[in-house]
Amino acid sequence: MRFDDRVDAGRRLADALDGLRGADAVVLGLPRGGIPVAYQVARSLDAPLDVLVVRKLGVPWQPELAFGAIGEHGVRVLNDDVLDAAGVSVAEQARVEERERAELERRVATYRVGRPPVPVRGRTVVVVDDGLATGATALAACRVVRGQGAARIVLAVPVAPDRTLSRLRAVTDDVVCLEAPAAFGSVGAWYRDFDQTPDAEVTALLARAAEREREHPRDDEGSLPADPELEVPLDGVRLAARFALPGGAPAVVVFAHGSGSSRHSPRNQYVATELNRAGLGTLLLDLLTEDEEGDRANVFDTLLLARRLRGTADWLRREAGLPVSYFGASTGAAACLEAAADDDVLAIVSRGGRPDLASAATLARVRAPTLLVVGSLDKQVLSLNRLAADRLHCEHRLAVVPGATHLFTEPGTLDTVAELARDWFTSHLTGPDTAVRRHSPA
């Protein structure tokens, strides 16, 4: 069976994937040719569409023969059989990867045009391409998605050789392929029209899919209520929270309060309002129930609080379909850092935080860009934050607010906190870079 073009292939593939309709699914297309196919699948399943940028590493004197592939977040996959057979040296591999890495970064910037990636953690992810030959690119793509916390990975392609599919079944939960011929030839041979897909078409289809999501948001059972006061069902408890989501918000900031505080904290409510005005969603969360707050040991149980933060972040990604950042105050900041060490959050802001309550090993594992805001007159906490900053290996900054004490009650100081948080979160809407960047304290 030959396909007329990628649109035809996408529609036929969507029919084969109809069982995923109504599931919490995300469709990721591999550029460039996989995007027209994935667009049809996403539209049929009523699922969000995003791009998953990977690049094939081709043998220098035979570029169509892949010795591996690279993906976002520093993923690299090598095919040792091809490397051995072709005799590609380490230096030649490095030159090819350098060139392809630059193209990968260009494509990410071109295709996303400032839009944050669709969150995949805890969801079913359908990885779509227009066809596979060696499968190196798809293998890299699936490993990227697995590393981002996908609950289930379904690889879906119109055509691929069976030997390639066998290899990919080891890194996926399911493989859907319409044609798996023994005599394969090439992907293009299975299409009547296999013209190259230009960048402009990729960008246009992604923009069209994003617009469809904004105009027709899904109202699934269990979606977030309009009432700002809600409860987060988690770990056998229900945690009280206050939620706000401006239209078109690109992310949600979860607030973790300090000891003796709650979602009613006027300081955190003030900062949250400023973030809402900047277009960000906010969730002011009580990490303990009223009964639990009676035991002071729970207030300083950073690991318990961190588990609940991670659970809340996963719940938000499912219910709101948006990526998450953390804002922590006092002991809540330590919980944010502990949670972020094992989670994929966009950014962290600490206000008068106690990062020293997180272990040194935890601080070293944090990847999310982190802003530590401390008052200049809060000398003991300032000293603790300077020590913690030295242990962070991620992008970070220590911002000292002149004339402020621990609670930032001095005129204008809380305004400064809100502005710093707003700028930090809005400038980190695409997730942490893979490269380590160190910032000097302010």
| Domain 6-215, CATH | 3.40.50.2020
The reply to whether domains 6-215 and 229-426 share a CATH topology is yes
pLDDT value of position 294:
66
What's the chain's average pLDDT? 86
**pLDDT band of 248, cuts 50, 70, 90:** confident
Q: Find the mean pLDDT for residues 258-286.
A: 83
pTM, two decimals, is: 0.50
Residue 186: pLDDT above 80? yes
User: How much is the pLDDT for 442?
Assistant: 45
Tell me the per-residue pLDDT of 121-166, one tens digit each, with 9 for 90 and over.
Answer: 778 999 999 999 988 889 888 988 887 778 899 999 999 999 999 9
Confidence of residue 327 (pLDDT cuts 50, 70, 90): very high
Closest C-alpha among 369, 370, 351 to residue 415 = 351
For residues 47-76, average pLDDT: 85
231, β-bridge pairs: 240
Q: How far is CA 90 from CA 60, 100, 128, 181, in A?
A: 12, 15, 31, 34
**How far is it, in rounded angstroms, from Cα 211 to Cα 390?**
43
In this prediction, residues 297-320 reach a mean pLDDT of: 85
- Topology of the domain covering 229-426: Rossmann fold (3.40.50)
Domain residue spans of the chain: 6-215, 229-426
Q: Give Cβ neighbours of residue 174 (< 8 Å, ≥ 6 apart).
A: 152, 153, 154, 155
What is the average pLDDT across 10-35?
92
